[in-house]
């Protein structure tokens, strides 16, 4: 499954599922493709991959 905004990833820190979001501040052309998720347990944004990646760093699913 290709990564995109709106999918959910399983967090390696808390085990919960978090929604992928795009960058809030784009400073370079590459930045617009970065995907992140926020973990309330760990705090802050965590990098999940890039739009269109087929291989994810974490388990991915459609939102439930």
pLDDT of the chain, 64 residues: tens digit per residue: 899 999 999 999 999 999 999 987 777 877 888 999 999 999 889 999 999 988 888 999 999 8
- Tell me the residue range of the domain where 53 lies: 8-61
Structural domains in the chain (count): 1
Kindly report the backbone phi and psi dihedral angles of residue 8, in degrees, each rounded to the nearest multiple of 5, phi listed first: -115, 145
Tell me if 23 is assigned to some domain: yes
Tell me if 2 is assigned to some domain: no
What's the pLDDT at 35? 94
Tell me if 21 is assigned to some domain: yes
Is residue 4 helix, strand or coil?
coil
H-run or E-run covering 9: strand 8-10
CA distances from 43 to 27, 46, 51, 64 (A): 23, 9, 23, 23
Bridge partners, residue 9, by sequence: 18, 60
What's the pLDDT at 27? 77
What's the pLDDT at 37? 96
What's the pLDDT at 26? 73
Tell me if 3 is assigned to some domain: no
């Amino acid at each position: 499954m290709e990564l995109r905004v709106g999918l959910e990833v399983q967090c390696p820190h808390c085990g919960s599922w978090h929604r992928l979001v795009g960058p809030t501040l784009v400073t370079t052309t590459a930045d617009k493709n970065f995907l992140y998720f926020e973990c309330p347990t760990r705090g802050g944004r965590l990098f999940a991959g890039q739009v269109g990646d087929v291989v994810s760093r974490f388990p991915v699913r459609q939102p439930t």
